[in-house]
Amino acid sequence: MIGLSIVVPCFNEEACLPALHERLTKVARSAVGQDYELILVNDGSRDRTWRIMSEIAATDPHLKAINLSRNHGHQLALTAGLDLAQGERILIIDADLQDPPELLPEMMEVMECERADVVYGVRSSRAGESHFKKATAHLFYRLLASATEVDIPLDAGDFRLMTRRALDVLLSMPEQARFIRGMVAWIGFRQVPFPYARDERLAGETKYPLAKMLRFAFDALTGFSSAPLKLASHAGLLLSLGSVLIVFYILVNWIAGRNIQGWTSLMLVVVVLGAVQMFVLAMMGEYLGRLYSQAKGRPLYIVQDIANARGTEVGRLGQVALHTAKSDTPVGREILPIK
């Protein structure tokens, strides 16, 4: 068993990789000596990310470079790296170096002193981010905290240090739509916050534009809360009460002999009712879609190549690694031959 695994999902990060490898190697050696491994996962990058990862892996025996068959998304790429991690302790960090890897020794000290299974980073400041990004992130975490049944920490990303037993429980969870920071919070055990100042992105552009952020937020909300469905039922209740009031209003005016006119108000009511109905159907469709994806039981990801210093590339040897909920292995991992 390796003392430390550092898992890094990468998507179009060619500009960051040399500095990332240098800093991760330096901090890992200072923390655990030679008893570590680096796992870089290429999530279907369109630039030279995989080529650079392979070149570095050919010279560093501590590095495993994982190449997924296509772009599966950040959370599934992270899952692929965690599946292959063999460490007693596992550090999750992004490739853009906004989360300083030099904090690892302090996080390990906190884990030891607090006897914690998870030490998660809490962003006390966010350098280099727009006011819009900061405001929406602030709103997202607080909306999520108020809506979910799980106590998900505020202002905490995926940057965290975990023990092996916490990781094994995480890998046993078969969700297709994964929100890993929420899944880790659901596990329980002792989890300790670690405040830190987030740096600016080292190079390149953010891989989470507004559309992806909204999709990610919606996955988090629907994955850990039934609040949207309850909101739909509450809206239906309010509209029902409103219809009773309208009927009462019409009845009073009819008894008084007053002629009720209002084509505009009638159309307004029809439009509002139609919008609410479509919203309710959309919420139900989102949850049904998650059930549909889960019921198909497809693998979460497919590994095309694994490169390391020994020159072994699993994909070229005619194998593919699949993470599937139907596996008999403890963490749901299979190695299947390609026909």
pLDDT by position in tens, the chain (length 339): 788 999 999 988 888 889 889 999 999 998 888 889 999 999 888 888 999 988 898 888 889 998 998 888 888 889 889 988 888 999 999 888 888 899 999 999 999 899 999 998 888 776 656 666 667 666 766 666 666 667 777 777 788 999 999 999 988 887 777 888 888 888 888 999 988 888 776 665 665 556 666 666 666 666 666 666 666 666 667 766 766 676 677 677 767 777 666 655 666 677 677 777 777 777 777 777 777 676 777 788 888 888 875 544 443 333 344 444 334 433 334 434 333
Q: Are residues 95 and 133 in the same domain?
A: yes
Q: Are residues 92 and 171 in the same domain?
A: yes
Q: Are residues 289 and 328 in the same domain?
A: no
Among 104, 130, 138, which Cα is nearest to 200's?
Answer: 130
Residue 321 phi/psi, 5° resolution? -95, 130
First to last CA, the chain: 32
Please give the angle made by the CA atoms of 236, 269 and 280, to the nearest 5 degrees: 30
pLDDT tens per residue across span 134-193 = 676 667 666 666 666 677 777 777 889 999 999 999 888 877 778 888 888 888 889 999
Number of domains forming the structure of the chain: 2
User: Encoding tokens for residue 154?
Assistant: 């505020």
Domain range for 274 is: 227-296
Q: Are residues 303 and 323 in the same domain?
A: yes
Q: Are residues 207 and 97 in the same domain?
A: yes
Residues 162 and 90 sit within 8 Å (Cβ to Cβ) = yes
Q: Are residues 53 and 104 in the same domain?
A: yes
The whole-number pLDDT of residue 25 equals 92
pLDDT tens per residue across span 203-228 = 656 655 566 666 666 666 666 666 66
| Cα distance between residue 28 and residue 87, in whole Å | 12
Q: Are residues 129 and 212 in the same domain?
A: yes
| Cα distance between residue 284 and residue 272, in whole Å | 19
Q: Are residues 155 and 255 in the same domain?
A: no
Global confidence as pTM = 0.69
Residues 161 and 91 sit within 8 Å (Cβ to Cβ) = yes
User: Encoding tokens for residue 85?
Assistant: 């991690």
Among 207, 218, 213, 216, which Cα is nearest to 98's?
Answer: 207
The alpha carbon of 142 is separated from its chain's Cα centroid by a whole number of angstroms, namely 17
Q: Are residues 207 and 309 in the same domain?
A: yes
The whole-number pLDDT of residue 332 equals 38
Taking CA atoms, 333 is separated from 10, 13, 156, 158, 175, in Å, by: 21, 27, 28, 22, 14
**CATH code (residue 135):** 3.90.550.10
The whole-number pLDDT of residue 331 equals 38
Q: Are residues 186 and 333 in the same domain?
A: yes
To the nearest 10°, the Cα dihedral for 243, 244, 246, 252? 160
User: Encoding tokens for residue 97?
Assistant: 């170096």
Residue count of the chain, please give it.
339
- No. of helices (H) and no. of strands (E), the chain: 10, 10
| Cα distance between residue 1 and residue 54, in whole Å | 24
| Cα distance between residue 47 and residue 203, in whole Å | 14
Q: Are residues 278 and 164 in the same domain?
A: no
Q: Which residues contact 203 (CB under 8 A, 6 or more apart)?
A: 15, 16, 19, 96
The whole-number pLDDT of residue 24 equals 93
User: Encoding tokens for residue 207?
Assistant: 């891989």
The whole-number pLDDT of residue 200 equals 72
User: Encoding tokens for residue 18?
Assistant: 């040399």
Residues 218 and 286 sit within 8 Å (Cβ to Cβ) = yes
H/E element holding 12?
none
Q: Are residues 333 and 288 in the same domain?
A: no
The whole-number pLDDT of residue 285 equals 72
